[in-house]
Amino acid sequence: MAEVVVVGSFNVDHVWRCPQLPEPGETRGGDYSTGPGGKGFNQATAAARAGAKTTFFCALGADTGAQLARTLAAADGIALHDQCSDAPTGTAGIFVDAQGRNSIVMGAGANATLSPGFVGGQRAIADAQVLLAQLESPLDAIACALTLARAAGAVAILNPAPADARTTPGLLALADILTPNESEFVALLARHLDTQLGAAAVTGLDDANLHALARRLFSHGTLVLTLGAGGIFVSHAASNRRGDAADCYRLAAEPAQVVDTTGAGDACNGALAASLVDRPDAPFAEHLRFANRYAALSTERAGAAIAMPRLAEVVARFGA
């Protein structure tokens, strides 16, 4: 039985490290590297390295990028099943500055061809304990995965990344847990509540106001708002606090020697999924504490999927 099922994107990341991110019209030199990425694959790698039996569904081209995906998935024990596409495997161009901040442009390629027909035919989705999806794939395919998993009793997590202007209330309603970062939360507030706030304004809100917004946006489920150096804010529906004592609370960011924040959100999501599978009866705050630590450690290494730590490394650094 699959424990964590991830449905989403695989990209070949092309990364340039430079002291400062380039301004529009500016040319800068940087150190180039390439490696595996895509929010889906990063999350699957995090879930697997955090200890969960993991299955990953994606769309790949017929090219060297696809071979890379299959080789790396096998190395991490991830059961990868791909819809073969005429389009090239997805790519991303990533700039990383000296503080580890990034700017990303994604070329969806094959990811844009992932279909509900392919996803809907996958029995493993109905066997999932936790289903994890993002928004780098067509929304109808993502909706299909969330629907199937939920109907079979899995916990459905939607990481609404990247911010997407096409999300609908119906899509959000299919998730049990929604995990935006601050810019994705801002985009969701604008689209679904017609509330215009900047990321800085969100960061400055107190818990009561954040909780009120989270409840209006995602009334039926748990919203996990990742705030980078600001830590994580959690807002539960009063009807299901997932074992926590409070409706809302914050976790401080774990200390880290940040090298590269690319994929930190993916690390958090994958680790959260793995922890929910590992100890389904533990309070949600304990799962988040693990995910928070896992994500912090991932930022101390360069790269996306390759930066995901193994469970033993997290334990060695932070304790059990």
Binding site for ligand RIB (CB under 6 A): 9, 11, 13, 37-39, 42, 92, 104, 106, 136, 262-263, 266, 304
Residue number, 129 or 298, with CB nearest to ligand RIB: 298
The residue with its CB nearest to ligand RIB is: 37
| Closest distance to ligand RIB from the beta carbon of 46 (Å) | 11
Supply the minimum distance, in Å, between the C-beta of residue 155 and ligand RIB: 21
Long-range residue pairs from 72-80, CB within 8 A, at least 24 positions apart, any chain: 72/36, 72/41, 72/45, 72/305, 73/41, 73/44, 76/45, 76/48, 76/49, 77/48, 77/53, 78/44, 78/45, 78/48, 78/54, 79/2, 79/54, 79/55, 79/124, 80/44, 80/55, 80/56
Closer residue to ligand RIB in complex, CB, 38/138 = 38
Cβ of residue 218: shortest distance to ligand RIB, in angstroms?
A: 21
Q: Which of 76, 82, 176, 266 is catalytic?
A: 266
Name the minimum Å distance from CB 29 to ligand RIB. 22
Query: Could you tell me whether strands 248-251 and 155-158 are parallel, antiparallel, or unpaired per DSSP bridges?
Result: unpaired
Catalytic status, residue 278: no
Q: Which is nearer to ligand RIB, 205 or 306 (CB)?
A: 306
- Show Cβ contacts of residue 26 under 8 Å, excluding neighbours closer than 6 positions: none
CA pair distance 35, 306, nearest whole angstrom:
7
Instruction: Give residue for tokens 């060695």.
Output: 316
Shortest Å distance, C-beta 10 to ligand RIB: 8
Q: CA-CA-CA-CA torsion for 227, 231, 232, 233, nearest 10 degrees?
A: -80
Give dist(CA 142, CA 299) in Å, integer. Answer: 27
Closest residue by Cα to residue 199 from 171, 226, 235: 226
- Angle 313-319-320 from CA coordinates, rounded to 5°: 95
Residue number with CB closer to ligand RIB (82 or 266): 266
Give the span between the Cα atoms of 30 and 224, in whole angstroms: 34
Q: In angstroms, give the least distance from the CB of 33 to ligand RIB.
A: 12
Whichever of 76 and 136 has its CB closer to ligand RIB, that residue is 136
Give the residue with the Cβ less far from ligand RIB, 41 or 118. Answer: 41
- Active-site residues, by number, are 266
